[in-house]
């Protein structure tokens, strides 16, 4: 571990990353690669800012909700200012007139209620006015998920980008079933910033773009998308994160004296739905392709969010112990013994410390403090030695993807240090 002197400078470095990625009221995930405001990245950014600048934590969340659509949908990217460094930009999404800020047409894992609550717990007096303003917006967003993205209590995604785990092995089956015919010619920008072997493949990108075109053709209409998007996969990340977010929203409702029957109903629905994600063959929580009913059949970091959702699972505890034995690093995005594991390729193997941070929050809540502490120590050592990168090789700890990354610096300040 680091000594006290290193710690001081690491905290300063982490704060400098957040300041450096601050574009005035909102953060970009990292300069260059991701020049806009991303939805769940901003939740983590708020958690980081809440450790040293509470007003800035609130503005992160409030700027995010400035892009909420009248339907309640909160987009996964807000294009506040044009930037040619990222593809696909606003012109490709074709969402003009649908929301108050140029944006994508899909959402992302709803961590905002949880980080609103955690920020409020550090700022009870001055934070009241902020939770009063945010509460109805959070409620509308969660209601949108429950109305338009919920199948038998499981939250499904209509695009891999919606899940936040873009090229996870979980999508291999449903993505293989898509024939990306008729996509417009395009030039990727991500591979100009990052080594292509750390990024999704061309086959993935063709399908990402095909799905954006399909959403655009449907006018991003929620009912039509639920019916006709070629990609419709029940996702443990989304289901667990929304379940947790509803529990935190319930706490905010109690604080504000709001009626909470609707939220309690959602929690019951999602608790039942989450059980459907368990693969009866393995006991592991897995994605389900709603076109075929097939479980994905592999262990990803999404399954370790069960405790974060308030769900106990001895099978996943066993998987966690196996992951601890297999590597000295935090839990990877894909089980290392899986034939499809790829140590450097984005969501198909690398370790994402923000996923470990919320996994640990859940482990603490569910009475597994030693396992949570193990994740924290491993993450702290990794970040202290290798910096605040986007993700890391789970065998060597080598940093990968974008550098000076907002959510990595944020979880250092809020949890790992």
Question: Is position 161 an interface residue for ligand 2M8 (rule: CB under 6 A)?
Answer: yes
| Structure tokens given for 108 | 């992302």
Angle of helix 39-49 versus helix 54-65 axis, rounded to 10: 160
Catalytic entry in 22, 31, 166, 289: 166
Question: Is position 166 an interface residue for ligand 2M8 (rule: CB under 6 A)?
Answer: yes
Q: Which helix (H) or strand (E) holds 272?
A: helix 261-276
The residue among 296, 282, 377, 376 whose CA lies nearest residue 340 is 296
Question: Is position 205 an interface residue for ligand 2M8 (rule: CB under 6 A)?
Answer: no
Among 35, 72, 102, 164, interactor with ligand 2M8 by CB under 6 A: 164
Within 334-416, residue ranges assigned H as helices are: 353-365, 369-386, 406-411
Catalytic entry in 248, 289, 319, 390: 390
Least separation in angstroms between CB 179 and ligand 2M8? 22
Least separation in angstroms between CB 414 and ligand 2M8? 17
299 torsion bin: left (phi>0), alpha (psi -120 to 50), beta (else)? beta
Alpha-carbon gap, residue 362 to 371, rounded angstroms: 10
SS3 state at 29: coil
Alpha-carbon gap, residue 236 to 305, rounded angstroms: 8
Alpha-carbon gap, residue 274 to 328, rounded angstroms: 30
What is the x/- site pattern for ligand 2M8, positions 230-269, by CB under 6 A? ----------------------------------------
Least separation in angstroms between CB 180 and ligand 2M8? 17
Q: Which residues contact 400 (CB under 8 A, 6 or more apart)?
A: 198, 344, 350, 389, 390, 391, 392, 393
What is the x/- site pattern for ligand 2M8, positions 168-197, by CB under 6 A? ----------------------x-------
User: Of 45 and 366, which CB lies nearer to ligand 2M8 in the complex structure?
Assistant: 45
Please identify, among the stretches 19-27, 32-40, 137-145, 358-366, the one whose residues bind ligand 2M8 according to the rule CB under 6 A: 32-40
- Which DSSP letter does residue 286 get? -
Question: Is position 105 an interface residue for ligand 2M8 (rule: CB under 6 A)?
Answer: no
Annotation marks residue 166 as catalytic: yes
SS3 state at 295: strand
User: Of 134 and 354, which CB lies nearer to ligand 2M8 in the complex structure?
Assistant: 354
Question: Is position 79 an interface residue for ligand 2M8 (rule: CB under 6 A)?
Answer: no
SS3 state at 392: strand
Question: Is position 38 an interface residue for ligand 2M8 (rule: CB under 6 A)?
Answer: yes
Half-sphere exposure of 11 (CA within 13 A, CB side): 12
User: Of 153 and 399, which CB lies nearer to ligand 2M8 in the complex structure?
Assistant: 399
What's CA 156's distance to the chain center, in Å?
14
Question: Is position 34 an interface residue for ligand 2M8 (rule: CB under 6 A)?
Answer: yes
Question: Is position 403 an interface residue for ligand 2M8 (rule: CB under 6 A)?
Answer: no
Annotation marks residue 96 as catalytic: no
User: Of 141 and 161, which CB lies nearer to ligand 2M8 in the complex structure?
Assistant: 161
The DSSP bridge partners found for residue 170 are none
- # chain residues binding ligand 2M8, by CB under 6 A: 10
**Which residue minimizes CB distance to ligand 2M8?**
164
Q: Which positions lie near ligand 2M8, rule CB under 6 A?
A: 29, 34, 38, 40-41, 76, 161, 164, 166, 190
- The residues that are catalytic are 166, 390
């Amino acid at each position: 571990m680091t000594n006290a002197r290193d710690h001081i400078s690491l905290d300063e470095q982490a704060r400098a990353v957040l300041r450096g990625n601050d574009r005035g009221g909102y953060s970009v995930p990292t300069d260059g690669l991701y020049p806009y405001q991303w939805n769940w990245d901003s939740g983590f950014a708020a958690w980081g800012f809440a450790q040293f600048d509470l007003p800035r934590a609130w503005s992160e969340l409030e700027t995010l909700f400035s892009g909420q659509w009248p339907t309640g949908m909160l987009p996964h990217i807000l294009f506040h200012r044009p930037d040619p460094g990222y593809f696909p930009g606003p012109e490709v999404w074709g969402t003009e007139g649908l929301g108050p800020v140029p944006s994508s047409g899909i959402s992302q894992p709803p961590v905002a209620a949880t980080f609103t609550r955690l920020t409020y717990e550090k700022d009870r007096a001055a934070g009241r006015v902020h939770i009063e303003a945010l509460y109805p917006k959070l409620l509308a967003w969660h209601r949108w998920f429950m109305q338009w993205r919920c199948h038998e209590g499981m939250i499904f995604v209509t695009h891999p980008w919606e899940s936040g785990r873009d090229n996870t092995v979980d999508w291999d089956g449903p993505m293989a079933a898509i024939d990306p015919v008729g996509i417009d010619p395009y030039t990727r920008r991500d591979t100009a910033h990052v080594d292509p072997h750390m990024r999704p493949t061309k086959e993935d990108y063709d399908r990402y773009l095909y799905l954006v075109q399909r959403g655009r053709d449907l006018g991003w209409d929620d009912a039509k998308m639920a019916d006709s998007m070629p990609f419709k996969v029940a996702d443990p990340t989304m289901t667990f994160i929304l379940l947790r977010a509803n529990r935190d929203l319930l706490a905010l409702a109690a604080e504000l004296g709001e009626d909470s029957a609707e939220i309690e109903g959602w929690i019951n629905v999602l608790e039942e739905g989450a059980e459907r994600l368990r693969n009866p063959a393995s006991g592991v929580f897995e994605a389900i392709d709603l076109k075929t009913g097939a479980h994905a059949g592999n262990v990803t970091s999404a399954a370790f969010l069960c405790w974060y959702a308030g769900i106990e699972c001895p099978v996943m505890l066993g998987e966690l112990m196996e992951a601890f034995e297999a590597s000295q690093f935090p839990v990877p995005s894909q089980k290392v013994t899986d034939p499809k594991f790829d140590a450097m390729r984005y969501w198909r193997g690398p370790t994402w410390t923000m996923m470990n941070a919320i996994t640990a929050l859940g482990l603490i809540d569910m009475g597994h403090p030693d396992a949570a502490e193990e994740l924290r120590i491993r993450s702290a050592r990794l970040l202290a030695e290798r910096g605040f990168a986007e993700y890391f090789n789970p065998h060597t700890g080598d940093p990968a993807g974008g550098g000076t990354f907002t959510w990595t610096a944020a979880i250092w300040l809020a949890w790992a240090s």
